[in-house]
Structure 1
Amino acid sequence: MTDRQNHSPPLSREAARALLAWQLAAGADEAVGDAPVDRLAPAAPSAPVSRPAGTGTPGDAATLPASDHGAHDPVMSARARAREATSLEELHHILEGFEGCALRFTAKSLCFADGNPEARVMFVGEAPGAEEDLQGKPFVGRAGRLLDRMLAAIGLDRTSAYITNVVYWRPPGNRTPTPQETQVCRPFIERQIELADPDVIVFLGGAAAKEMLNRSEGILKMRGKWFDYDTGRRTIRAIATLHPAYLLRQPGQKRLAWRDLVAIRKALSD
């Protein structure tokens, strides 16, 4: 074969734009690395790892420092790290250094929380989106602006509500978090709820409600009903409602969300 046969001709400007548009439509809306990587190039041989005598094998847990136990299992590691936090500030700091969730390596920001951590009501969604990833705060995009209007309808704002997500980093292309990603983050959101200790928890959308309430029903069956959420310290009243992003797609369902908001307002006035 000649060199001409070995190499494809360069794309025209129009073809390159069409390919980029197709990739964006498929959800590939950001680069994972700063430099291009030739995935077809042969892999370089890995250098052998030298270990000091007496350190044991990598799989021997007895030879690992106490802080590394469970490091091979991200969920176990997350549980251990979450238990270390004695305040929301400490939990935030631990999450900043936690590497057990692969999403942190593709996201730009950790979206820990927004609002007042001492508020009586806590809102929990599923995961950050693109605008949240840019600002490092949950619910600041279109859905967040609708949430602000929903809060205002019952006399609340971000000084009287605490807002977060089950998953703290944006999945690439706004895809749904995988079960593994959600399970790794769950010990942290459980600890966050325990430390914030609200009187009412509002789960925004079916994904957050099913995960945190261990339910299997869809959101239209769960919404508007009160559940008990046990933190281990106390039982908190919890309710599920429609996610603001869903309401943007289905504005006719806002009447259902309004009923839930009225129930939340009543619970906070008791």
Structure 2
Amino acid sequence: MESSETYWAEVALLDWQVALGADEAIGDVPVDRYALEAVAAKAAPVKLAPGTRPPPPPIPVPEKFDAVALAREAAEAAADLAALATAHEGFELCALKRGARNFVGAEGHMAARVMVIGDAPGRAEDQAGRPFVGPQGALLDRMLGAIGLDRTSEAAAQAAYVMHVMPWRTAGAGMPLADDLAMMLPFVQRHIALVQPDVVVCMGNAACQALLGRAGITRMRGQWAEVMGRPALPMFSPDMLLGQPAAKREAWADLLALKARLRG
């Protein structure tokens, strides 16, 4: 909900516009008045009663834009990770951005062998503007460390590149909407193309749904798949493991499988 200061500031702005002579609402997109005049000239003349004014010309309805195509265009135009981060954060069409405190980007070595992709930022990530922080981040760091990986490593062979499939916090703890996942997928795919990891780890249902086209992490975990020509391993998210400690046994088995794949 907007603060009272913002409300009265907007009221003052509206009063200022009225004082300048603004007397009607204008659409969200520009209108080519010359084109409208050409259309009106071709139309059959309308007989009006004496003393009446002709109706205004119709305003064309803008075509619906393709948000996924626009996201793909923005992502593919990024030549490096810095440009990709700028394009990702600046993408305005995902409604989640308006409700988030911070953009949560990616971090890690730009040539890391392992890319870990989680679901969506939680409260701690939203506040910090970083992926996998708080208890979930501490658990992920311990999991990676157990097989010789470190997201802060300066050596690509031991490094992990971490990010979420959604860069903005979702409402509650629910699954992101399919439209939002589709909108953000081109940015995730561009990350994979630029980093070129040996293995992609999909941590959670949203990551699996976006990258593998299906969810059901309990059934999928531990079963190798493929993302953009690279081996991909579905795993439980740290958030789930904190809520269900018994699942850590399966997570450990998956970590060992990941370690074996990296050695092979």
Same fold (TM over 0.5): yes
Distance 1:58 1:189, change over 3 A: farther
RMSD between superposed Cα atoms in Å: 2.4
Going from structure 1 to structure 2, the CA distance change for 1:91 and 1:101 (only over 3 Å counts) comes to: same
Contact 1:108 1:133 in 2 (8 A): yes
User: Which stretch of the first structure deviates more once superposed, 49-58 or 200-209?
Assistant: 49-58
The Cα shift of 1:52 comes to: 5.0
- In structure 2, distance between residues paired with 1:236 and 1:74: 27
Of 14, 21, 33, 2:2 maps to: 33
Partner of 1:226: 224
- Structure 2 residue 244 is matched with structure 1 residue 250: yes
Shift of residue 46, structure 1, vs aligned partner: 6.1
Q: Which amino acid aligns with 2:34?
A: G
Q: Which runs of 5+ in 2 are unaligned?
A: 8-13, 15-22, 37-58, 154-158
Aligned match of 2:25 in 47, 70, 75? 47
CA distance in 2, matches of 1:154, 1:131: 25
CA contact (8 A) 1:148 1:157 kept: yes
Report SS of the residue matched to 1:237.
strand
> What CA deviation, in whole Å up to 9, does each residue of 1:34-60 have, x standing for no partner?
4487xxxxxx99613574533666656
Structure 2: distance between partners of 1:174 and 1:220: 17
What's the secondary structure of 1:149's corresponding residue? helix
Does the aligned pair in 1 maintain the 2:84–2:187 contact within 8 Å?
Answer: yes
Q: Match for residue 115 of structure 1? A: 108
- Taking a change above 3 Å as real, the CA distance of residues 86 and 225 of structure 1, as seen in their structure-2 partners, is same
Residue in structure 2 matched with residue 189 of structure 1 by the alignment:
188
User: C-alpha distance in 2, partners of 1:140/1:91?
Assistant: 22
CA–CA separation in structure 1 for the residues paired with 2:167 and 2:239: 17
The residue aligned with 1:131 is: 124
- Shift in CA distance, 75/149, structure 1 to aligned 2, threshold 3 Å: same
Give SS of 2:34's match. Answer: coil
C-alpha contact (below 8 Å) 1:117/1:161 kept by paired residues: no
Q: Which residue is equivalent to 1:155?
A: 148
Q: How far off is 1:265 after superposition?
A: 0.9
Instruction: Say if 2:256 is the partner of 1:262.
Output: yes
Tell me, yes or no, if the aligned pair for 1:166 and 1:186 is still in contact at 8 Å: yes
If the length of structure 2 is used for normalisation, what is the TM-score? 0.76
Distance 1:156 1:237 in 2: 17
Aligned to 2:90: 97
Tell me how far apart the structure 1 counterparts of residues 26 and 170 of structure 2 sit (CA, whole Å): 34
The answer on whether the counterparts of 1:129 and 1:141 sit within 8 Å (CA) in structure 2 is no
What SS does the corresponding residue of 1:172 show, helix, strand or coil? coil
State the secondary structure of the residue aligned to 2:142.
helix
**1:116 and 1:161 in contact (8 A); partners too:** yes
- Name the aligned partner's letter for residue 266 of structure 1: A
Would you say how many aligned residue pairs link Structure 1 and Structure 2? 220
Give the fraction of aligned pairs with identical amino acids, expressed as a percent.
41
Cα drift, residue 210 of structure 1 = 2.7
How much does 1:150 deviate? 0.5
TM (norm. structure 1) is: 0.74
Moved over 6 A (4+): none
Evaluate the alpha carbon distance shift between residue 55 and residue 198 of structure 1 in structure 2; reply closer, same or farther with a 3 A threshold. Answer: farther
* In structure 2, distance between residues paired with 1:33 and 1:157: 41
What corresponds to 1:65 in structure 2? none
User: Residue 50 of structure 2 aligns with which residue?
Assistant: none
**Partner-residue secondary structure (3-state), 1:180:** helix
Larger Rg: 2
